């Protein structure tokens, strides 16, 4: 186990390093400098270039950047005066984390419930509902879902606040908008794996042994049906990250996703780069955790 984790850790570190290198040089390829649009005197422009180290050769800038990264310093924003990328992350990541966690929990609980119920009630109304929801949830973009529920529940019906992220009531609509596509995916997969499990031999055996229905569901069906869902967790975390870019903008939540989009609009290269690295690091760690969890809960996987 320790060997597996170490190997994965090493692989992830290499991937992160490659990502950092590629994105650094890609951003250097962008024509113009972040200060081209600003009107300033020649002298002050030089001073600013020297301040940000932009007057040095690119490879020196690269090693400087790597050195700073190793100390955990993601650099300063080129556009927002005297703000570091680390400060932005510290301030806005909690919002995104809260939203993301809520969305994942809603997606797992709701998706599993729908998937399991519709597997048992195959061909009934609830099953049809799940399948329709699964198709819509996968196909309809999150911003459409976001705008729709925002307009319906906040603007027209006035049941919930339109935007911002200050109380629990504020979190309901964005959580739903972010979780719908994941919920749909989980419902679809858990329905399929549950149907497979219900008709499997070991469930028939358990039934023949005279085990209680509850025990069969809990011990034999759920445990096996849940396994494929764990593999969905990795892609889901990636979905949450890209989902927050959109949903935080629709609901004006001051999270990291919104900052990322703002920094793209502002062409704030250091911010784009710093946030990309942060997202990548977060994703890599989460994927590693998911893999470890998967090995722990699936007795069939033996590491060799």
- The verdict on 138 binding other proteins (CB under 8 A) reads yes
- The residue among 96 and 221 lying less far from other proteins, judged by its C-beta, is 96
Among 18, 5, 174, residue whose Cα is nearest residue 102:
174
Q: How far is the CB of 180 from other proteins (least distance, A)?
A: 12
Question: In DSSP terms, which residues pair with 263 in a beta bridge?
Answer: none
- The residue among 138 and 218 lying less far from other proteins, judged by its C-beta, is 138
Full DSSP string of 186-245: HHHHHHHHHHHHHTSHHHHHHHHTT--HHHIIIIIIIHHHHHHHHHHHHHHHHHHHHHHH
Distance of alpha carbon 194 from alpha carbon 83, whole angstroms? 50
- The residue among 181 and 221 lying less far from other proteins, judged by its C-beta, is 181
Number of residues lying near other proteins (CB under 8 A): 41
Helix then strand then coil, in percent of the chain rounded to 5, is 75, 0, 20
Q: How far is the CB of 238 from other proteins (least distance, A)?
A: 4
Among 4, 51, 63, 148, binds other proteins (CB under 8 A): 148
Among 214, 187, 16, residue whose Cα is nearest residue 113:
187
Distance of alpha carbon 302 from alpha carbon 237, whole angstroms? 26
Distance of alpha carbon 95 from alpha carbon 171, whole angstroms? 10
Number of Cβ atoms within 10 Å of the Cβ of 177: 25
Q: Which stretch binds other proteins (CB under 8 A): 59-67, 142-150, 210-218, 219-227?
A: 142-150
- The residue among 12 and 84 lying less far from other proteins, judged by its C-beta, is 12
Distance of alpha carbon 292 from alpha carbon 304, whole angstroms? 15
Report 271-300 residues binding other proteins (CB under 8 A).
Answer: 272, 276, 279-280, 283-284, 287
Question: x/- binding map, residues 23-52, to other proteins, per CB under 8 A?
Answer: x--xx-xx----------------------
- The residue among 92 and 150 lying less far from other proteins, judged by its C-beta, is 150
Report 207-266 residues binding other proteins (CB under 8 A).
Answer: 238-239, 241-242, 245-246, 249-250, 261, 264-265
User: For binding to other proteins (CB under 8 A), which residues are involved?
Assistant: 15, 18-19, 22-23, 26-27, 29-30, 135-136, 138-141, 143-144, 147-148, 150-151, 155, 238-239, 241-242, 245-246, 249-250, 261, 264-265, 267, 272, 276, 279-280, 283-284, 287
């Amino acid at each position: 186990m320790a060997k597996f984790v170490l190997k994965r850790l090493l692989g992830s570190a290499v991937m992160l390093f490659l990502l950092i290198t590629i994105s650094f040089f890609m951003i250097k390829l962008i024509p113009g400098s972040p200060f081209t649009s600003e009107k300033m005197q020649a002298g002050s422009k030089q001073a600013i270039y020297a301040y940000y180290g932009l007057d040095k050769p690119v490879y020196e800038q690269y090693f400087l950047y790597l050195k700073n990264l190793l100390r955990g310093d993601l650099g300063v924003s080129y556009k927002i005066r005297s703000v570091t990328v680390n400060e932005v992350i510290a301030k806005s990541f909690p919002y995104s984390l809260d939203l993301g966690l809520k969305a994942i929990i809603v997606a797992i609980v709701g998706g599993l419930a729908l998937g399991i119920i519709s597997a048992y009630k195959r061909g009934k109304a609830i099953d049809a509902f799940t399948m329709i929801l699964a198709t819509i949830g996968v196909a309809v973009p999150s911003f459409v879902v976001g705008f729709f529920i925002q307009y319906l529940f906040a603007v027209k019906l006035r049941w919930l606040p339109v935007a911002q992220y200050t109380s629990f009531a504020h979190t309901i609509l964005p959580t739903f908008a972010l979780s719908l596509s994941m919920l749909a995916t989980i419902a679809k997969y858990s329905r399929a794996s549950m149907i497979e499990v219900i008709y499997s031999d070991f469930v028939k055996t358990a039934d023949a042994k005279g085990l209680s229905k509850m025990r069969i569901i809990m011990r034999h069906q759920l445990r096996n049906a849940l396994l494929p869902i764990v593999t969905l967790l990795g892609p889901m975390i990636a979905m949450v990250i890209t989902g927050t870019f959109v949903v935080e903008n629709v609901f004006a939540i001051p999270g990291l996703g919104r900052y990322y989009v703002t920094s793209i609009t502002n062409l704030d290269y250091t911010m784009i780069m710093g946030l990309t690295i942060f997202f990548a690091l977060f994703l890599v760690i989460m994927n590693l955790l998911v893999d470890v969890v998967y090995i722990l809960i699936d007795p069939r996987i033996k590491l060799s």
